[in-house]
Amino acid sequence: MSSTFDQIANIIAETCDIPRDTIKPESHAIDDLGIDSLDFLDIAFAIDKAFGIKMPLEKWTQEVNDGKATTEQYFVLQNLADRIDELVAAKNAAPGA
């Protein structure tokens, strides 16, 4: 089974037509890969579907805007993969999961 990073890197490569081998765990989705907000909607849809979660993009954006978080915490891909793992774990731990 591929890692969370590999799965999201494959999604980004396919959605944004970015060569897969240029997408690294340390890549910043916006600053390094040039992904804009519209493409990120598409990526979020694919990630939500692939992992059965709802990434809280609005909450994350608000935290960045309020200075409570940095974009690196959510948009460096290894960090994004970690956030996704946390969301999947929370979903699986929820009653009825």
Residues at the interface with other proteins (CB under 8 A): 38, 41-42, 44-45, 48-49, 54-59, 61
Nearer Cβ to other proteins (45/89): 45
Nearer Cβ to other proteins (38/97): 38
Residue with the two structure tokens 């993009």 = 57
CB atoms within 10 A of CB 35: 20
CB of 37 to other proteins, least distance (A): 9
CB of 21 to other proteins, least distance (A): 26
What single letter denotes the amino acid at residue 71?
Answer: T
Residue 82: HSE in the Cβ half-sphere, 13 Å Cα cutoff: 10
